[in-house]
Structure 1
Amino acid sequence: MYESSSELAENKLLMLYVLKSIKEPISNTQLTEIILENNFINYFTFQQYLSELEESRFVEYNDVNDKKLIILTEKGDNVLSLFKDRLSPSKISIIDAYIKDKIEAIKKELTIHADYTLGSNDSFIVDLKAIEDQALLMELKLSVPSKNQATLICNKWKENPSDIYTNIINLLIN
């Protein structure tokens, strides 16, 4: 019993450590990916722990630009500070290396949004957003005649948002 309760505590602390290390609110999907890709916890156990951390008010969900993002609360940060020494150094180094390697992709996923919905007259409404420091930089909504075009626009926006943003700004200014 002692082993499993110490493992449970370490896994929850590890989740808090990830949130603190990223220093940004992240989605449930992103946090899940970080934990699962490193084979720390299985999916169902992870979701249970996340729910328990939320119930304990160590983490909370905030609505940021139409997304529910997880943040580490002050209470969670205090608990992590008190018990961080219970985390194995090898897991900490794995998390640190993973975050260092993937932080740009994680931030890009949080700051670039591209989606489409079915509009009227069988058209598709494409919604593109660029967000910086949790503030909306640009939002563009387009109506296109086909799903293929909507998908193409979303993919191009995700691949190269800064160039497209710069081109749009230049077109409007010049």
Structure 2
Amino acid sequence: MSRTGFIQNELDLKLLVLYIMDRAVAPITFLQLLDLALCDAGVDYFSLTEAVNHLTETEHLSLNGELYSITEKGRRNIEICQSSLPYSVRLRCDENLVKLNDTLMRQAQVQTGLQPNEDGTCTVRLYLADEAGPLMELKLISPSLAQGQTLTSKFQQSPEAIYHEIMALLVRHSQEESDSSSEQEA
């Protein structure tokens, strides 16, 4: 039975995988790769599994835990061969990658962590960055793990608003100190 879609053989599938991995802004899971690769009717789960395993064995991809990333060898090969992929497949991949890359960048920019302490408290880490680099890294002691989880959840919902509130509070406090010292001098 002949395949439908533009991806017709193992080489096409490997090129598709390398194309996707080269454009992902961070390492991704197999399921994320599968979701992106299903942009063509010629792709199926089992063939993709074989292609990814082979690319990992030949060191075109690396696997760290559950996350795949492209190696320099893979980047060199896809740079040379990407024009072999049909334009329509590349276009669909690029469209699908926009949403995933936004999610991956957001995960890199907004991070939280919890570390239970021996006394029953927990250390909460809140981190916010933008394209230029880190904006804020805050560590707090929470009285319990449950409250720490609440803090991290709230931070992940609106990290920018929390950052702006902290900045406004610090600026307001600084202005009040400046105003009170000016009054004392007069």
TM-score for both structures, normalised by structure 2: 0.66
Distance in 1 of aligned mates of 2:89 and 2:156: 32
> Which structure has the highest strand share of the two?
1
Q: Paired residue for 2:22?
A: 20
Say which one has the larger Rg: 2
Q: Paired residue for 2:34?
A: 35
Aligned-pair distance for 1:148? Answer: 2.7
Aligned-pair distance for 1:97? Answer: 1.4
CA displacement 1:29-67 (0-9 Å, x = unmatched): 3x641433653453x7656654543554434579xxxx9
Correspondent of 1:172 among 129, 148, 170: 170
Alignment of 1:123-138 (within 5 A): 123-133=121-131, 135-138=133-136
Please tell me the residue identity of whatever aligns with 1:12: K
Correspondent of 1:101 among 96, 99, 102: 99
Distance in 1 of aligned mates of 2:74 and 2:105: 22
Gap runs ≥5 in structure 1: none
Aligned-pair distance for 1:108? Answer: 0.2
Pair 1:133–1:60, CA change in 2 (3 A): farther
The answer on whether the counterparts of 1:111 and 1:130 sit within 8 Å (CA) in structure 2 is yes
The count of residues paired between Structure 1 and Structure 2 equals 162
The answer on whether the counterparts of 2:110 and 2:129 sit within 8 Å (CA) in structure 1 is yes
CA displacement 1:13-42 (0-9 Å, x = unmatched): 2222123334x3x1333x641433653453
Aligned-pair distance for 1:80? Answer: 0.8
Pair 1:95–1:146, CA change in 2 (3 A): same
CA RMSD of aligned residues (A): 3.4
Distance in 1 of aligned mates of 2:116 and 2:148: 10
Alignment of 1:49-128 (within 5 A): 49-50=51-52, 52-60=54-62, 72-128=70-126
State percent identity of aligned pairs: 22
Aligned-pair distance for 1:113? Answer: 0.8
Distance in 1 of aligned mates of 2:19 and 2:49: 16
Alignment of 1:142-157 (within 5 A): 142-157=140-155
The answer on whether the counterparts of 2:27 and 2:69 sit within 8 Å (CA) in structure 1 is no
Aligned-pair distance for 1:11? Answer: 2.6
The answer on whether the counterparts of 2:110 and 2:159 sit within 8 Å (CA) in structure 1 is yes
Correspondent of 1:141 among 139, 142, 151: 139
